Amino acid sequence: MSTFWDVQEFVSAANRVTSFPELTSLMEAMSKTLGFDYFAMVHHVDVVAPDVIDLLNYPSSWQEMIAERKYASDDPVLVACQFTNVGFRWSDVPSMIVMTARQKEILRGARDAGIGDGFTVPVHIPGEYAGSCSFGLRLGKDFEDSAMPGAQFVGCFGFEAARRLIRTATLESGRTVAPLPQLTQRQLDCLVLAAGGKSDWHTAQLLGIASDTVHQHIEDAKRRYGVATRLQLVVRALFDGKLTFRDIVN
Amino acid sequence: MVTVVTEDNRSKYREQLAQMHRDRKKVFVDRWKWDVPVIDGEYEIDQFDTPSAIYLLSLCPLTRRHLSSVRLLPSTEPHILGSLFPELCEGDVPCGDDVWEITRSVETPDVPKKIARESSDRITVALVEFALLFGISTYTCTVHMGMVSMILSEGWECEPLGLPKTINGELLTALKMKVSPATLQLFRQRAGCRRPILEWETSAAAA
C-alpha cells in the first residue's frame, strides 16, 4: 500500500532523473508500489518526434498492435481525457464518452493482450500536445480506491520530469522546437462554430461579423497550421488542445 | 508592471481593488460556482481579505484597469490552508515569516485570452520578485488537482504537502513552492521581461 511518504520519495527522485531509461525504471517501480503492473506516459499524437513523450511498458504484443492499427488517436481512454482534468478509472470511461465500434474494439484488444482495469491522469498544458499518464493492471486484478490519490501526483510529477528531460535534450542539441502555431481568439471562435457544422454565413450571424471575414479567419488559421482543409485544421487544433471535444459537441 | 498593494497604499487603488473583487465574483462564483461570500451582489470578499493581505495587481498599462491578480497571506496569520483545509497537509501546516500563501489567482474574464495570459505571466514573475525582495522562501497554495500539471509546467519547484482529498465534491491538494533566483530567471525568460516588473508606491510618495 502506498503512502504519502512513497509519493514524496518519488517526487524527489523524479526531480533528479537525468535520462529516459532512468525515468522509465522509476515509473515502473512506482507503478508497482501503487499496486499497478503497467504504466504509459504519452502525448496524444500519432507521430514519433524528439519532443513527443512516449514512455510505456505495456506488453509488447499490445504496443505493436497500437502502432500497427494506429489506435493512439482513437483510444477511448485518451479521448476521455478531453472531458476531465483529474484522474479517472478506465471502468468509468463508458459513462464519460459515447464509444464508437472502433473504440470498443480497442478495449477488447487491450483485454486480449492481458490488460484489465486502470487509472489515467490527464495532463493538459496550454500550448502543448495533450498528454496523460496511465496505470494499468493485468486482467483479473483490481486496484483499491486508496491508490488513486498517490497516482494523481505520480502522473503529474512523472510527466513533468519527462518534459524537463525533453527540454534539456533540446537545449543540448541546439535544436529549436518550433512553437505550436497560435490562433487568435477570433480564429478560434470561427473554428469552434465551423467544427460544429455551422456555415460561414451562420457563423457570421452568430458572431456579428461579415461572412467574408469568417472565411478569411479560417483561411488564416489554416495557413498558420500549414494545412489545406478545414477538417485537418479541426483535427490539429484538437490534438494541440486549442479546441476540446466539448467545445464542439456543446 | 505589477503593482504591490498593501495596507499602507490601499487607498490609492480603491478602483482597481473593486475591479479585482468584481472579477473574482465573475470567475469564482459565476463561473466556477464556489460557495464563497458575495458582497452587494457583485464583489467576492472573504474573511481573509484583511489588512494583512497583500495583493499583486497586473494593470493595463493604458487604462490602469485590473487584468489579473493574486492575494498573498502570511502563514503566521489565519489563511486558507491553515484555517480551512489543514487536513490537506500530511504533517503540520507550513508556518513561518518566510512562508506566505498564494490565493485567489484571477484573470479578468473580459479580455482576449492572449492579453490575459501575458498578464498572468507577469504575475508569476512578480510573485518571485516579491519573494526574493522580502525574504519569502516558500509559497503555499491550495489548488484543484487538475491545476497541478499546469503549475509544474510553469517551472515552480513544487512539493506536495499531502495526498489530494475530495472536499465538497472537488479534488483538492496543497502544494509548497520553493523560490530561488533560478526560478526568477526562468520565469523572466518565459515572460520575455529582463527588468524588474514590481512597482510599489508608498502612501508617503503618493501624497
pLDDT of residue B183: 93
Give the torsion through C-alpha atoms of B164, B166, B168, B173, to 10 deg. Answer: 10
Which residue on chain B is closest to A11 by alpha carbon? B159
Three-point CA angle B140, A152, A17, nearest 5°: 80
Spell out which residues of chain B touch residue A87, defining contact as CB-CB under 8 Å.
145
A133 contacts: CB under 8 Å, gap ≥ 6 = A39, A40, A41, A120, A121, A123, A154, A155, A156, A158, A159
Which residue on chain B is closest to A151 by alpha carbon? B163
Interchain proximity A7–B164, CB inside 8 Å:
no
> pLDDT tens digits, residue range A7-66?
999 999 999 999 999 999 999 999 999 999 999 999 988 777 778 888 889 888 888 888
Q: Say how far apart CA A85 and CA A124 lie, in whole Å.
A: 7
How many other CB atoms are there within 10 angstroms of residue A144's CB atom? 10
pLDDT of residue B206: 46
Residue A247 has pLDDT above 80, yes or no: no
pLDDT of residue B204: 57
Partner residue facing B160 (CB), from A11, A15, A182 = A11
Interchain proximity B163–A160, CB inside 8 Å:
no
Spell out which residues of chain B touch residue A159, defining contact as CB-CB under 8 Å.
149, 152
Spell out which residues of chain B touch residue A158, defining contact as CB-CB under 8 Å.
none
Spell out which residues of chain A touch residue B147, defining contact as CB-CB under 8 Å.
85
pLDDT tens sequence for chain B (207 residues):
899 999 999 999 999 999 999 999 999 999 988 899 999 999 999 999 999 999 999 998 889 999 999 999 999 999 999 999 999 999 999 999 999 999 999 999 878 777 888 898 899 999 999 999 999 999 999 999 999 999 999 999 999 999 999 998 899 999 999 999 999 998 998 888 888 999 988 765 544
Touching A: B residues 76-105, CB under 8 Å: 90
Q: For A144-179, give the DSSP string.
A: -GGGHHHHHHHHHHHHHHHHHHHHHHHHHHT--PPP
C-alpha torsion sign, points B22, B27, B28, B33? positive
Q: What are phi and psi of B169, to 5 degrees?
A: 80, 0
> pLDDT tens digits, residue range A67-124?
888 887 788 998 899 889 899 999 999 999 888 899 999 989 999 999 999 999 999 9
> pLDDT tens digits, residue range A169-209?
877 777 666 667 888 889 999 998 999 889 999 999 999 99
